[in-house]
Amino acid sequence: MSRERARRPAPRTAAAPSSGRSSSPALPTTGAPAPVAPVPASAAWREGDEVGRRQFVDLGPLELEAGGRLPDVRLAYETWGTLSPSGDNAVLVLHALSGDSHVTGPTGPGQPTPGWWESLVGPGSPIDTDRYFVVAPNVLGGCQGSTGPASTAPDGRPWGGRFPHITVRDQVAVEVGLTDALGIDSWALVVGASLGGLRVLEWAASAPGRVRGIAPIATSAQTSGDQIANFHTQIGAIRADPRFAGGDYYDAPDGEGPHVGLGIARQIAHSSYRSARELDERFGRIPQGAEDPLGGGRFAVQSYLDHHGDKLARRFDANSYVVLTRTMITHDLGRDRGGVEAALAGVTARALVIAVDSDRLFPPSQSERIAAGIPGAGPVRMIHSDFGHDGFLIEEDQVGAMVAEFLAAG
């Protein structure tokens, strides 16, 4: 569920282990440390910031599944390609936990990170924007332009800790509103992994007439006790940071926000995004540079996790992390539908179900359940990877080939 642009990790070295993404700087190990800017209290996109490629749609009020109401919902989204006159070439791409609408494209004003799935979306790519009209929204509750905790509440202040509990169904309900606003009757494909995959399945169950094909990747129809435990500890790490201040930290100066708790949450998560085999073979018990673990220094794997915690804190928002993680905790496709199997049996779309064989966050057994339950699904397609859950980002060639083949057969 890492947001960063995916690349295969470089071979390990004792002096400076790779961060696992080519866009990540090498960790300094010798000489004077480079100056480091303080971490912003929140890296959420706010009104007045550069828009970049974002477009916006205002969808009005939303009655929430768990009770309560959002009085005014806005979604930020990006598009590529051209909608056909018949509107039959639209593809919806749904991002994971810490992603956003910037699926493909370079950095630029208002967009400090490159596209997170560039190998899959673009001219001549598996999701070919010369043929398909591709839409990617920033999820409800996110922090990159859509209504979320950093957005302005009716009293003129950020929602902060007052932001209501939302569910995956609420997120899909507003994405259906975006679909209507764009004049799209049905999607040729709705595709996403991890949290995005939860929404793919919810789309198929809640709006079956609007979806002709789905590709849920490395995901689940119902979060398990093990997953809930993992997500719970991440939320606890953020809430335990005294600078979280109950979610009301948006006026804090740089360096005074809840970046410690957010960074720890990311470290917990990142450990589950990668496989034990990768972490053991890549880092093992190698010290970080000249640091001595017996003298209070770190092992290389500790430095790696520290680095990823810091990176996320500099580009995300702690409240959004909590809100979105809670949507995963409460995810249950079968709620009020007679159970998971009944909900899956009602899916009418063609389905491409993809798992990562080394995934320990969303294990392949959960994808097997999805494929067994959906009438239009074939066998699970397996991504072979040493890298765990993040294999859906790293193994670009495998994922691309599966998606391209599925689209061609549609």
d(CA 115, CA 112): 10
Nearest to 97 by CA among 336, 402, 320: 320
Q: At residue 302, what are phi and psi to the nearest 5 degrees?
A: -70, -40
Per the CB < 8 A criterion, the answer to whether 365 and 89 are in contact is no
Return the half-sphere exposure (C-beta side, CA atoms, 13 A cut-off) of residue 78: 24
Is 365 a known active-site residue? Answer: no
- Lookup: tokens for 75: 């979604």
Which three-class secondary structure state does DSSP give residue 82? coil
Catalytic residue from among 194, 320, 358, 367 = 194
Catalytic residue from among 241, 332, 359, 390 = 359
Neighbours of 101 (CB within 10 A): 27
- Lookup: tokens for 29: 């190990």
DSSP 72: E
Per the CB < 8 A criterion, the answer to whether 318 and 158 are in contact is no
Chain Cα centroid distance, residue 382: 20
Is 359 a known active-site residue? Answer: yes
Which three-class secondary structure state does DSSP give residue 195? helix
Strand partners, 78: 136
Active site residues per annotation: 194, 359, 389
